Amino acid sequence: MRALLSKGWIESAVMLAEATLNDGVPEELAAELRCALIAPLITSGHTDEAIAIADQVLAVPDLSTTTFDDTAAGRMLALVLQGDFASDHASKVLQEPDGTCHGQARTAIALTGLAHLEWSAGNVAEALCWGRRAATCAASVKSADWRWYPPLMMAEMLGELGEFDDAEEMLRQARAEIDQFGLTMHAAQADLIRARLLLRAGRQTAARLTAEACLSSALELGTLRVVPSAESVLALIAFRSGDVALARSYLRRCRETSTYEQGSAARSARDEWIQLLVHTSKEDPSSIEALLHTNLLHRPALFVEEPGAAAWFVRVAMDVGDEKIAIKAIEAAHAVANANIGTPAVATGALHARSLFEPNLDGLLQVISEYGDAWARETAIKDLRALLGGGVLSSDRRDSRNVAESGRNDSTNAKNTDRPHGDAESIPPDLTKTERAIAELVGQGLTNRQIAHRIFLSPHTVNYHLRRIFRKLGINSRVELASRERYAVRREIRSSGRYGSS
């Protein structure tokens, strides 16, 4: 059976074990065979069956130490992957005397489970602490079946935080375990983590090729637990490349293949986020507003794994006129940032969301200089361009200060231009009374906070009305609005004869 698994022939190995068990074997051997079945069942997506078999083995009296340890570890990992792991599952293991639990597989997986729990709760420091302990413990585990998972999990977490060198080292360690012990069925999982690392680093083509190879390998070997995640990564890559149709195709396949994973956990925050990104790309405003009311804003891990997520919520919410969702996204991101003071990526994402909402030029400049996530940084540059009125070419190679300076030059030129850009010569009459008042005050050079004080509204509400004005006028910034408003005032003065005889 292990020879078959080393070749990646999972289905054949499982069939052999099941046929042997059906023929009737001594209880001790049956326990060993069932224990050996747990890893391939988990990898092929059958976590419920793996847990059931583990319970069957653990009920056997006088198990060998190795069989007990491997079975308990496999059961806990299945619970982790299902999302059913709780701290109580780890407490009994970790409370064992050091002499009995050190270097055992169940200890390494228990620590891994605690890392998963803290990560899902958005507690980065605690997750990394448990994760490092798990990786250290796994290095001394004798059984090969579970040594690879803790360093692989650490590689993923470090990669999400932009610590690429450390992530690569952990990934190398996990891959070495996989290759050394012939754990071919786990190779696709390592490739999936590498694809995510490459995507976070901005190496989109390399990420796509790696994810495609991962998907092909997983389908060939039958490691079906990896398939939906690989398709989800490819959907995100297609979306960021502008191919929404391909992204939707991958997501359809992702939904279909996820049925292979019996007892599947609730989808990860990242996978739900990718679904939301793609689905809102071509929906009408009313549908988008409904999609924004998602429980994702209550999942702290999203703002760790996707630093630009909060700003995306703000951007889309303001576009459809849902200020409450924008504020909720800002508050959620800041709550995670405040809980993770030593995690720059999370703080930068929260600052991006707030700076976009206010809007705050200096905040966006700081975000662009601090982002480690390539996609989030590019969206921040686009936000800065929109704030400055457009006309500024954005590139990862362009210094953000140059972007800002170009925008300020545009602003200066607008102030010196008697006639505004575009076809409209004045503020059109379809603005509401409040919008008209705000437009006039923008023309006078007042900030959002000053306008809010003047007309007894909150700065957030002023910003909301400004975005509605921009949409109605087909403009992108307060610079263009101020230019149009000044031109309208001058034209009114001329038409009323207030220039005098001169």
The sign of the torsion formed by the CA atoms of 339, 344, 349, 351 equals: positive
pLDDT at 485: 64
pLDDT beyond 50 at 400: no
**pLDDT value for 429:** 54
Domains of the chain, start order: 1-181 (1.25.40.10), 183-263 (1.25.40), 283-416 (no CATH), 433-496 (1.10.10.10)
Q: In angstroms, rounded to a whole number, what is the distance separating the alpha carbons of residues 29 and 357?
A: 64
Residue 84 has pLDDT above 50, yes or no: yes
Confidence check: pLDDT of 423 > 60: no
For the segment 394-420, the average pLDDT, to the nearest whole number, is 40
| Tokens at 45, concatenated | 């997506």
Q: What angle do CA 327, 378, 404 make, to 5 degrees?
A: 85
pLDDT for residue 204: 93
Q: Read off the pLDDT band of 299 (50, 70, 90).
A: very high
Could you tell me which residue, 394 or 206, shows the higher pLDDT?
206
Mean pLDDT of the chain, nearest integer: 82
Categorize the per-residue pLDDT at 2 as very low, low, confident or very high, splitting at 50, 70 and 90: confident
Residues β-bridged to residue 46: 262
Strand partners, 262: 46
Average pLDDT of span 92-111: 75
Q: Which of 34-38, 296-300, 409-413, 468-472 has the lowest mean pLDDT?
A: 409-413
Q: How far apart are CA 439 and CA 273, in angstroms?
A: 36
Q: pLDDT digit string (tens) for 446-499?
A: 888 888 888 877 776 777 788 788 888 888 777 778 777 655 544 444 444 443
For range 44-54, the mean pLDDT? 93
Query: pLDDT for 341-385, tens place per residue?
Result: 889 999 999 999 999 998 888 899 999 999 988 899 999 999 998
Q: Helix count (H) and strand count (E) of the chain?
A: 28, 0
DSSP string of 220-277? HHT-TTTHHHHHHHHHHHHHHTT-HHHHHHHHHHHHHHGGGSBTPPSPPHHHHHHHHH
pLDDT band at 287 (very low <50, low <70, confident <90, very high): low
Tens-place pLDDT, residues 121-147 = 999 999 999 999 999 999 888 888 888
Residue type, position 379, single letter: T
Torsion of the alpha carbons at 354, 358, 361 and 367, rounded to the nearest 10? 10
The pair of structure tokens assigned to 68 is 């007990």
Asked if 278 contacts 239 with a C-beta cutoff of 8 angstroms, the reply is yes
Per-residue pLDDT at 168 exceeds 60: yes
Share of the chain above pLDDT 90, in %: 46
**Closest to 387 in 3D by CA, of 327, 475, 454, 465:** 475
Residue keyed to tokens 């031109």: 487
CB within 8 A of 269, min separation 6: which ones? Answer: 120, 296, 299, 301, 302, 305
What's the sign of the alpha-carbon dihedral 285, 437, 466, 385? positive
Picking from 30, 120, 38, 125, the residue whose alpha carbon sits closest to that of residue 76 is: 38
